[in-house]
Each structure stands twice: as C-alpha cells, then as structure tokens.
Chain A
Amino acid sequence: MRLLKKFFQHAVLICIIGYPIYKSLNYFQSLNPIEKELSDFKFSDIYFSYIDEKELDDDIFFVDIGVKDRRTTRVEISRFITYLNKYIHPKVIAIDVNFTYDNTIPKSINEELVSALSSDNIVMSYNLKNIQGQWLKDKSEIPIDYNIVKEGFSNNLVEKVEYGVERFFKPYVIIDEKKEQHFSLEVGKFLNKDVANSLFDIHDKVMINFAYRYNEIILINDSNNYNLLKDKIVIVGLFTKDDNGRPLYNQDVHYTPSNPHYLGKSPPDMYGGEVIANIISNIKNDSFIRHYPELSKWITIILSILVYIILLYFMGKSNNIFLVSSLVIQFVLVAFFIFLSIFFIAKFNMYFDLTILAVITFLSVEFIGVIDEIIDFIKNLIYRKPKES
C-alpha cells in the first residue's frame, strides 16, 4: 500500500513537471533533441538496416530512365513500352514518372507517348496532393485514357516532414467519394492476388516489410536485356546508383528503415520506385509487417508502471540493492525490449513498438532518485513545524 502511495506521488509529480516540459519542447521543435533524433526512430529500423538478410524477388525489374531532358525521356519511354508490349510481353509496366506540360515538346512526341501508354498492362503513378484542404490527383498532364490505363497514388506515410522515414503506406484514400488505390495495389492486381481480402480491409495503414532485393537495374535503351522482362513486373523510373549502390541523384529519393544510418542525419537511401517494389513484393508474398499500435500502447503503459514500481520497491530496500537493480533494469531490460521488438519482426512479421517503453525505462532509472528528492523536499516544506515564537 505504501509502495502504491509512493508511486502515485511520483506519477503526480511527473505529470506536473513533465507535461509543461513536453509541451514546450514540442512547441520549440528545434530545441527538442528527442524530436530531432528519436521521434522518427523505431526498433524495426535496426532490423531492416543491419540484421535482415534481404530476399531476391525475381519477378520485379527496374528500368532506369536516367537524368535526361524531357524530350529524350518521353521518346525513350515511348519506344521502350512499344517494343516491350510488341515483342517481350511483360506482365505489367508500372510507370513511376509524371509527365508535366511542356510547350517545347513537339505534339507528335506526346502523341507517340500517349499511344504507347494506351495499353491495359500499364499502371501510371500520380501524386496525392492537398490543395485548399482537398485531396486531389496530380496526374501527368497528357491526355491518357484512364478507361484503359490503370492509375494509383504513389505517396507513402511519414511521421514528420523533414527526414521523415517511410515505414507505412495507406492502401486507399477517398477522393470525390471514390475509393482510390495505392499505385502498388494497382500493380499487385496483375499478380492475381486477392488484395481486397488481405489485411488492407482491417488496417487503415500498413507497415512495409523492406525485406527484398532486386535484379540488376536495366537501362531504358539497353535492348540486349529486354528479354529478361518477359512476364515480369517492370517498374520504369529513376534508379541510377553510384559505385556504392546508393542513389546517385537527389530526385525521388526517400528515407526508409533500410538506411544503414538510422539515427542522425544521413542521405536518403532509396528511390521511390524501390519503395514501391517492396510494397509489391509484400503483396506478392503476403509478407507485410503486422503492426499493433493499440496493443503496443497498452504494453508500454502497463510495463512502464510495473518497471517504475519495481524501481521504487528496490529504492526502498537499500542503496546498494537499488544501484544493482537499476543497472540491471537500465541495460538488461532496455536491451530485452529492443530484442523483443526485433524478434517478433524477424520470426512472425509482427511489430510491437516498444521504443517508448525502452526510453521510459532508461529515463526512469535516471530520474527516479531526483523525483524522490523533490517529493521529500516538498513534504518537508508542507509538514515542517512552524518555529515557536
């Protein structure tokens, strides 16, 4: 009973002191080190960046358009699609390129492009844009017939704008009262996967499993390798890499959990098309990470309280016992929580986000003594006897 009373006192003080600190740090984002470094970090990042051995998905190929002027880009894409659909017959060609209006491009080139794109195995990507509070489809500015060609938005979800890591995507959005699908889902339909009955219907956002690697990138005008694309999923986009296998250009690059430098500042590690490919592989293999935010929240709350009570218990015993137990809790327990998160991803494709729990455990050990002294100080102030006059 005494222990619970003490816990209650600590909890009240943590709320009183912690809430304004949290709120002000949240407001002054640039001063908030947690916001800067840890707010967008998950233990799954450790798994994807270091531990995970990536599996080759042989059904997906990247075709690199490189960085060329708009005219050359359009001409090469037109020729590529026309040739492929005539002689090679890939399963689907996903175009991860947005063609904007350009009055310097001859009409004939745009017509040739539209004609090449007018095929039922083409899926176009578009940008999901919010203008004046409305979600709109920012599509290519050429007259494509969307009765023939499929389309899907290719944006994913991030926790924050700057350096936001793409771990989740949303399968559907409602635009103009119509259910619009993610680009990868539209491509996934060509795999004859019953996408509608999978996890998309029960989760409003889905965690991406970055567990795949892909074949060598094929250059768009490298016709010698076109025969590899027969009956495959072809993603056309920017994929040029440097000698170290990192994106060479700064366009369409994204931060993902596969980034080897998951903490601090690092360059984006994947092109957009690669993120899309991972989602398609997840659909193909039904290997999305099952994410349990509500359960993770309750585990965090319950275990945080439990850890704190255990710490209070040992603090009441003796200084030496408290020192040993706090060391054990701070290092062994925190390491265990990290291990547990990674273990569930590796073995069961399930993610319990215990990041906050590990942080709370670590900080509890650091601050429990200080909080206890503050409580003692307050008690002394309240209960000290007035001096006799």
Chain B
Amino acid sequence: MRILLILLLSLNYLFAQEVVVKQVWGDVDLIFNNHVLKLKNYDVFNAEGDVILKDKKSKIWLRKEASEQLIVWSENKNKYSITELFNLTDDNHKKKQNNDKNLASKVLASFESVDYDGEKLSGMIVSTYSGVSRGDVLTSKVIDKLFILDEYPLKFTWGHLAKFDDGAQYRILVVDKNSKKVLFDTTTFMPNAIIERPPSNAFFNEWTFNLYVVGTEIEYSGIIESYVIKHQQSEMLDSLKVLAIKESLTDECFYQLIFIDKLFSNNLILNGTYFLDLFIETNNNIRLVELKNQK
C-alpha cells in the first residue's frame, strides 16, 4: 500500500518540486488524492497535498530546495496545505527581495544593527556549519588577493589558472565588497577581460571578483584591493606612465620596461598586464614580448 502510494505521489514528479521531510516528531500524515501516508524522517514527496499534525506532540520540519518550514501543532490549526505553505515562504522571500531593492531600505539596512538574540548561545552567535555540504552553493577556488592602483585600467587573465576547454565561455563579476554594487559583469569567450575605467573610491577600494566558466561548476573567486602608495611614488608612476605611452608609439623601449617592471614589482599584476599587452599591441616590441613570455 505504502509503495503504491509513493508511486502515485511520484506521478506528478515532472510537474511539482520535491519536499524532503527533515524530521518528524509525533504523528504526522500527508493526505494526497484521498490517500494517507504516515510521514517519517527523510521521506520525499511532491510539493502537493496536505500535512496533518495529529496531536499536541506532532511537529514536522520540511525542506523544499532552500526554503524550510517548521510546522507545530496548535489548537487553531493542524492542517496545512503544502502548496500554500511554501508559496507563502516564496512570497515572503520575494517581498523581502523587493524591499531590498528599494534604495531607502538598502541605505537603512546597511546602517542597522541586526538582532541575533534569538539565535545566540552563551551570549555569542552560532557560527556557520563547520563541515562540507555538497549543496547548491558552488565551491570556488580562491585566488590570492590582487592589488590594483586607483584609476589605472586593469586586465584580468585566467589562462594560467587551469587548462580550460577551447570555446569555453567565461563570466567575470566584480562587486564592491561594502556596497555590494556590481561594478563589472561581462561574459566573454576570450580568456581575459579589461576594465578601462575602474570606479574609484577616494577612501578605500575593496572588491570581490568571481570567474565562472559558463555551463560548468568551475568557479574562481578572490579579493581585489587598492594598493596604497605614497603621494611621491604615485606622481612618479603617473609621469612614467605618460612617458611610456608616448614612447610606445616609437621603436624605443625604455620607459615602457621601467613602468611595467615598477607595476609588477609592486604586485600590481592586473595593471601591469593591461599596460604590457597594450604596449605590445601598439608596437610589438620584441623586448616587451620577451617580458610577457617570462611573466
């Protein structure tokens, strides 16, 4: 009978999402198409039908994808429609997302302190799960922190990270870590991406970047931070930049090498890569090509 019922419940598999019973306390039934199934831990059924909590001790914890519900018996209500239950959660989630899109709410939210009192133990917040979960969240490889110079163009390259398939499509996403504002989001078949005019924050820049290989689970992530240099050094780099750009239109290659070397030696790989490729594109100087091959 139970097998028949599970088969019946599975008929709608293609049309409805699945609900996982994470835990059951007491007696809890699922009613679907006039059939009754006594629910137990780890049962899975389609997101339809009604859940009935039979007595005071009855309680059930359900999960549909990332949305979770804990239903507790009460005198007023002990029958819950699964569809309504999860639609309600989805609606609340959407409502919250819409609210979050509102500029005023965003500004206020960033200032407000969050109250975690209900989730505290011994006056402290419970940390995230210390273990691996092969869940829906992608796991990305973390790249070493990258440094950039404010207002200098930069170029990401990722051919060196792994051997990617020919014709692979990449998405690169750069987000301001504090404001969560998307600064750069592009999809490309090339193994590089350029930001010509990086947005500058006069005080401090810290961005997160993610590289996705589209259609795969491969992801890389890291942090990009403003490199703080002394005013004098910054002026010197600016002057060198002007001289190097001017020189790149000639056959000479003196300032270009110094400028590139200065950027790389200060760990400004993204800026250095941009200018090195720019100069090679302009004059194809053999010394610059050699330098690129060494990098």
Interface residue ranges, A against B (CB under 8 Å):
26-31, 65, 67, 69-70, 73, 96-101, 103, 125, 127-128, 130-134, 136-139, 141-143, 154-161, 164, 166, 168, 170, 173, 176, 183, 204-205, 237-238, 242, 244, 246-254, 265, 267, 272-273, 275-276
Q: Is B146 close to A, CB under 8 A?
A: no
CA distance A54 to B84 in the complex (A): 55
Q: Is B232 close to A, CB under 8 A?
A: no
Residues of B within 8 A of A205 (CB): 121-122, 124
Do A131 and B70 touch across chains, with their CB atoms under 8 A apart? yes
Q: Is B245 close to A, CB under 8 A?
A: no
Residues of B within 8 A of A159 (CB): 124-125
- Specify which of B44, B61, B126 is in contact with A130 (CB 8 Å cutoff): B126
Residues of B within 8 A of A254 (CB): 127-128, 130
Residues of B within 8 A of A28 (CB): 111
- Specify which of B113, B121, B141, B177 is in contact with A249 (CB 8 Å cutoff): B141
Most interface-central of B61, B111, B129, B144 (chain A CB within 10 A):
B129
Closest to A165 in B: B127
Closest to B177 in A: A265
Q: Is B116 close to A, CB under 8 A?
A: yes
Q: Is B134 close to A, CB under 8 A?
A: yes
Do A96 and B132 touch across chains, with their CB atoms under 8 A apart? yes
CA distance A137 to B217 in the complex (A): 29
| B119 CB to nearest chain A CB (Å) | 4
Do B112 and A27 touch across chains, with their CB atoms under 8 A apart? yes
Do B221 and A31 touch across chains, with their CB atoms under 8 A apart? no
Residues of B within 8 A of A156 (CB): 126-127, 130
Besides the contacts A130-B119, A132-B70, A156-B130, what 14 more A-B pairs have beta carbons closer than 8 Å?
A69-B217, A100-B135, A101-B44, A136-B61, A142-B42, A155-B128, A164-B127, A237-B131, A242-B142, A244-B144, A249-B139, A253-B142, A254-B130, A267-B223
Most interface-central of A29, A136, A250, A276 (chain B CB within 10 A):
A250
Do B133 and A101 touch across chains, with their CB atoms under 8 A apart? no
CA distance A247 to B143 in the complex (A): 10
Q: Is B118 close to A, CB under 8 A?
A: yes
Q: Is B257 close to A, CB under 8 A?
A: no
Residues of B within 8 A of A100 (CB): 133-135
Closest to B41 in A: A143
Known: A155-B128, A158-B125, A164-B125. A29 touches B113 (CB 8 A): yes
- Count of inter-chain pairs, beta carbons less than 8 A: 164
CA distance A103 to B16 in the complex (A): 13
Do B113 and A101 touch across chains, with their CB atoms under 8 A apart? no
- Specify which of B125, B134, B137, B223 is in contact with A160 (CB 8 Å cutoff): B125
Do B141 and A273 touch across chains, with their CB atoms under 8 A apart? no
Closest to A166 in B: B127
| A81 CB to nearest chain B CB (Å) | 15
Contact with A along B176-187 (1 / 0, CB 8 A): 011000000000
Residues of A within 8 A of B119 (CB): 130
Q: Is B145 close to A, CB under 8 A?
A: yes
Known: A161-B116, A251-B137. A141 touches B42 (CB 8 A): yes
Binds A, one of B17-25, B30-38, B271-279: B17-25
Do B118 and A133 touch across chains, with their CB atoms under 8 A apart? yes
Closest to A168 in B: B124
Residues of B within 8 A of A127 (CB): 129, 131, 133
